[in-house]
Chains A and B, each alone.
Chain A
Amino acid sequence: MRNILFGTAALLALGTGLAHAQIKIGMAGPLTGSNAAFGVQMKTGFDLAISDINKAGGVLGKQLVPVPVDDACDPKQAVSAANTLVSDGVVMVDGHFCSASSIPASKVYEDAGILQISPASTNPAYTDDGSPYTFRTCGRDDQQGKVAAEYIAKHFPKAKIAVLDDNSTYGKGIADQVRLNLKKLGVKVAYNTSYTAGDKDYSALISRMKEQGITLVYMGGYYSDMGLIMREGVTQGFTPQYFSEDAAVTSALWQVAGSAAEGMLMTFPPPAEKDPAAAKVVAELTAAKEDPSGYVLYSYATVQVWAEAAKKAGTTNPTKVAKELKAGGPWNTVLGPVKFDSKGDVVNAAYAIYKWHDGNYAMYALKP
């Protein structure tokens, strides 16, 4: 709250004539709501990237001003958040988090001619149907779902599999990719269903999977629902192998699920915080008592690639920067060198397998 107030105060100060020496950079993510843990991760990386760039002299001699807005992972609020950023005159947006927010917001940015670089929206449709201004620094669900399916096929050949999703753009998208890839690999899925995100009672769902003798549950959705499902599982004595995706990679999952999440597997990009390129930023974050994992460094890299490309293009004009982003590079970021393809996706995005153990998650296997 204080940051928002401070940000607003900074903006008001801008209106009084300082605008020429500064560049406004937007960030949109779930700062409230059930995915707020991720919004906070994004904002941590975003704020740090801006302050680091400003300390190093800014971009093209101008200082960057952060403009964070909250979309609560709600598609309607995402559009109004995008409009807020547009009317504030930002040249680039770091966001959004949820695919269901990024996709409708991308139309607003396209109309306004503003760059949108998402650090987290993995649904393929985001860049497949996107505009020349849409980019992402994370991978895609068709890459992620394939890794998950390959891992399941290789390591759990005898499992009786259930694939659940929460009916959201992201959750259903990734679960469908897993279903598709499992089918390609000749693995049978015993039970497919969608649950309602935000529901609290999963007792009937758990009883049903227990009755069917399910031994592996893949979940596509967000951490709070997954946490509740696993908790209910323990209550009913149903303890399959759980498998999930990048939205489960947050300590908030363990807060909800507790020890019910022990042994849960997830797909997530290889740990950026261990990359030598990130060492300096990770040290800064650790000194500030911030956790560098999850999407923090992705958000940092989002601002970084934009700043690099703007410097190279010699302008902050979004159209020119977008061209430079696609044509130039690889850009040096905290994630290592990042190169974009013609759609705005990262070339060769990798996914590794992570595992929850004793309240912490860590990389478990680099490849399926």
Chain B
Amino acid sequence: MAYALQQLINGLTLGMIYGLIAIGYTMVYGIIGMINFAHGDVFMIGAFVGIIVLTALSTVTSVPVALAAAFVISAFICAVYGFSIERVAYRPLRGSFRLAPLISAIGMSIVLENYVQVSQGALERAIPNLLPGGIVLLKQGDFVVQLTWMQLAIIIVTLVLLAAFTYLVTKTPLGRAMRAVEQDAKMAALLGVNTNRTISLTFVIGSALAAFAGVMFLLYYGVIDFYIGFNAGIKAFTAAVLGGIGSLPGAVLGGLLIGLIEAFWSGYATVAYKDAAVYSILAIVLMFMPSGLLGRHEIEKV
């Protein structure tokens, strides 16, 4: 019981991070129907900006100030990256054949990875745990169930971001414009929605969320390298597909499911095959629900 609870906490925390990245994939897919493979690398850049800001500020100011600065600066820089990526790599190809932006996205991903590798070095970068300790939830014999402050912070921050983001999409004029472009870009343009601006803003917001995920990843695990975007990106992409690509709640649900599958599979079956378990479940779900758990039936796009 205690052990299962501990694995539940492990899985939830991991799932929250996946979900936060998955939102970026699903949003871009929803609005322009392409998979933004560079999104995982924007997440990685977010983590790197975080570590640069934290190391620069940690000696000058207190930890909370440095943390706040890391989140804000990282979100801002990643937003600029997201905006530029769309401008440089995707917009010129809009209206081109379907695979063109996909290939461009893969190229962008390689560019960003190598850029960070060259400019920041290939070695891991590490920071000490800034929020050590936690609360003991349950004690069963020798086994202590612990919820660390870091895990609690990740869960809370993710929930707050999700709430804010859901509000933005469902209640604000920008959200309405985003949904309109998603349904029919041409019609939305005819009715006075600035499509280019809306798509740019989607990239900006998605990238800022990825930056938050990146900084939280950095704080939680403490170690990053230029390659983290690849693994996390693939998992988050899987989360988006599992939940139903194009669906926001689906992305979060998918992320949580993958986190939980990984934790419980490692906990009760074998650690070695946790990724196999994740992808098998994805395959099974897609067999019976081709558009994912919460996805709508739609025209197929790559």
Contact = CB atoms under 8 A, between A and B. Distances in A.
A235 B267 contact: no
13 contacts: A34-B225, A167-B272, A196-B274, A200-B221, A200-B231, A204-B271, A207-B7, A208-B266, A211-B3, A231-B222, A234-B129, A236-B148, A255-B124
Interface stretch (B65-73, B77-85, B138-146): B138-146
Query: How many interface residues does chain A have, given as a range?
Result: 35 or more
Interface in B99-122: 117-118, 122
B14 interface: yes
A231 B129 CA distance: 9
Interface in A189-220: 193-196, 198-201, 203-205, 207-208, 210-211, 213
B146 A236 contact: yes
A199 B129 contact: no
Contacts of A201: 10, 14, 221, 262
B263 interface: yes
Nearest to A193: B271
A278 interface: no
Nearest to A209: B271
A208 B128 contact: no
Given A36-B123, A204-B10, 15 more contacts: A1-B118, A167-B272, A193-B270, A196-B274, A198-B227, A199-B231, A200-B217, A204-B266, A205-B266, A213-B142, A231-B129, A231-B221, A234-B129, A255-B126, A258-B128
A224 interface: yes
Nearest to B263: A204
A224 B14 contact: no
Nearest to A205: B271
A227 B221 CA distance: 11
B6 interface: yes
B228 interface: yes
A339 B227 CA distance: 41
A31 B121 CA distance: 10
Given A32-B122, A204-B7, A198 B231 contact: yes
A227 B146 contact: no
Nearest to B122: A32
A340 B223 CA distance: 41
Nearest to B230: A198
Contacts of B292: none
Given A201-B262, A208-B266, A33 B122 contact: yes
Given A231-B223, A252-B123, A194 B129 contact: no
A37 interface: yes
Contact of A204 (B144, B150, B262): B262
- Report the 4 A-B pairs with minimum CB-CB distance, sorted nearest first: A204-B266, A32-B122, A203-B10, A194-B272
Given A200-B231, A258-B128, A207 B3 contact: yes
Interface string B275-300: 10000000000000000000000000
A40 B94 CA distance: 44
Contact of B13 (A198, A203, A205, A255): A203
Contacts of A276: none
B11 interface: yes
B110 to A, nearest CB: 14
A314 interface: no
A222 to B, nearest CB: 11
A47 B144 CA distance: 52
A31 B143 CA distance: 42
